[in-house]
Amino acid sequence: MVAPVLVATDFSDTAHLALMRAAQIARSRKAGVHLLHVMEQDILSGLAELIGLRRGHDHDPLHDQLFADLGGIAREVEETSSVKVTTELRTGPVTREIIECATAVGARLQVIGGHGAGTLRDLATGSTAERLLRQTTRPTLVVNYPTDQPYRKVLLPVDFSDWSETSLRVIRKLLPDADVVLLHVVSLSYEPQLRHAGVTDAEIEQHREQEHRKAEAELAILRTEIGDKDNKISLRTVNGDVASSILAVTGDENADLVAIGKHGRGMIEEWLLGSVTQHVLASAPCDVLVCGSTTL
């Protein structure tokens, strides 16, 4: 059987968008959806005290209501998308429970809403996202926008480290009909040092052009290694700041998904786990797929 797509929900509007996107992807892969809600223990205790629940009782109306809510959502998705949806309710730290649930059900893809209510809100731009992205090896799709149609164009920024090929393979398997733009940002972070050392503008520009040609050649090699018999992979290099360039090219290419590898090379590794990832997750005009080391 094809591994299910795991969706973490907090019952917010964007969690619903994530579920609809997951159902679309699952249907295209002939897979099911596993719908998970995680209640953190401190929140559960607070709610229990608020509504007068007592510990130790076999009957827990709060859990019953959550299970009922999950079941109602599952039935609605099954009726509208013809995708089998299973449900699960867990208690504990959100990040840990998502990862453990994904392992238990054999999910290769995790899907979350980007700006939800409560704990899952932090998955887009806060510390929870940082922990999840560092700990998980699975591709994680962050959904912010309605599921009008399947993804048509994916922007994949690459730095030619090992994750570049892994990420491209994930995209090609997950979205075989989508066009893919491979982007390399030429960012001379050491340009101030060059100028301080007396290197002229012309020499710096010549060095930048050399970096472009080198990047274009490496992009072409990556495309050849993956294979592109349908001519769906295009190549692009630009100058500038990495995060700003990714966002600018996303708009310029009218991409409806940005894919970012979990690990990079050198300074890029820190950027992709830190400021660049958070910047793209918070500001991208489309959904974002953070690729891990696990392929689909």
Closest among 231, 244, 235 to 215, alpha carbons compared: 235
Same domain? 135 vs 255: no
Distance CA 295, CA 284 (A): 24
Which pLDDT does position 136 carry in this prediction?
84
Q: How many structural domains is the chain composed of?
A: 2
Where is the domain boundary, 87, 108, 143?
Answer: 143
Distance CA 85, CA 56 (A): 31
User: 11-15, 210-214, 284-288: which has the minimum mean pLDDT?
Assistant: 11-15
Same domain? 171 vs 223: yes
Distance CA 42, CA 152 (A): 42
Distance CA 78, CA 179 (A): 29
In tens, the pLDDT along 194-218 reads: 777 777 878 878 888 998 999 999 9
Where is the domain boundary, 93, 110, 143?
Answer: 143
Same domain? 132 vs 104: yes
* Proportion of the chain above pLDDT 90, given as a percent: 50
Which pLDDT does position 231 carry in this prediction?
94
Q: Is the pLDDT of residue 272 over 60?
A: no
Same domain? 27 vs 113: yes
In tens, the pLDDT along 229-242 reads: 999 999 999 998 88
Where is the domain boundary, 89, 122, 143?
Answer: 143
Give the residue, 155 or 63, on which the prediction is more confident: 155
pTM: predicted TM-score of the whole model, two decimal places: 0.85
Does any domain span residue 73?
yes
> Could you give the residue ranges of the DSSP H alpha helices within 29-174?
41-51, 61-81, 94-105, 122-125, 127-135, 162-174
Average pLDDT over residues 237-250: 93
Give residue 22's domain range. 5-143
